[in-house]
Amino acid sequence: MRKRRVARRVLVVMGELTDKQGQEGSVSVQAARPKLKRPPMYKVIILNDDYTPMDFVVMILEKFFAMNREKATRIMLQVHTRGAGVCGIFSRDIAETKVAQVENYSRQHNHPLKCTMEVA
């Protein structure tokens, strides 16, 4: 069994504390775990327009978001009827990359499809 290293911060507390030998004013060292929090997640959203064909939107969802045909069609219909659809939830870097990929690919194929991201 391998031992895992755990990063620790050391807090030094000074004051009127008594150590084991009974000396006052000594330094007490206390280990504390670092406070970590998860990075914020972002929703990638495709926006509806009147010019991009539905088949192209399905193809985008399959290609860039690894969806099967059924799920891609369901999200495409949500985009078409509600005006927007969530393609996935990702960390910030991945969400920015997905938005850029979709918009660049759409421009290359002469479609005005827009994709955005917002905090989940």
**3-state secondary structure (DSSP) of residue 93:** helix
Other C-beta atoms closer than 10 Å to the C-beta of 107 total 11
Tens digit of each residue's pLDDT (9 = 90 or more) over 70-119:
999 999 999 999 999 999 999 999 999 999 999 999 999 999 999 999 99
Q: Which of 45, 46, 38, 41 is nearest to 90 (CA)?
A: 41
Tens digit of each residue's pLDDT (9 = 90 or more) over 33-66:
888 999 999 999 999 999 999 999 999 999 999 9
What letter would DSSP give residue 22? -
Radius of gyration in angstroms for the set of CA atoms belonging to the chain, rounded to a whole number: 26
- Per the CB < 8 A criterion, the answer to whether 44 and 120 are in contact is no
